[in-house]
Amino acid sequence: MKIRLANKRDIEQLIKMRWDFTLEDYPEMGEGVKFSSFENECRRFLGTAIDSSKWFVWVAEKNGQIISHIYVELIQKVPRPGRVTHPFAYMTNVYTVPEYRGKGTGSKLLSRVNEWAEEKKLEFIIVWPSETSNEFYGRNGYTHCAEPMERHF
Half-sphere exposure in the Cβ direction for 28 (13 Å, CA)? 0
> What distance in Å separates the CA atoms of residue 69 and residue 71, rounded to the nearest whole number?
7
Specify whether the CB–CB gap between 146 and 107 falls below 8 A.
no
Half-sphere exposure in the Cβ direction for 88 (13 Å, CA)? 9
Q: Per-residue pLDDT tens for 55-87?
A: 999 999 999 999 999 999 999 999 999 989 999
May I ask the CATH architecture of the domain 2-139?
3-Layer(aba) Sandwich (3.40)
Least confident piece of the model among 61-65, 104-108, 125-129, 130-134: 130-134
pTM of the model: 0.92
- Which residues have CB under 8 Å from 63's CB, separation 6+? none
Q: Where exactly are the structural domains of the chain?
A: 2-139
Q: How confident is the model at residue 116 (pLDDT cuts 50, 70, 90)?
A: very high
- Residue 148, helix vs strand vs coil: coil
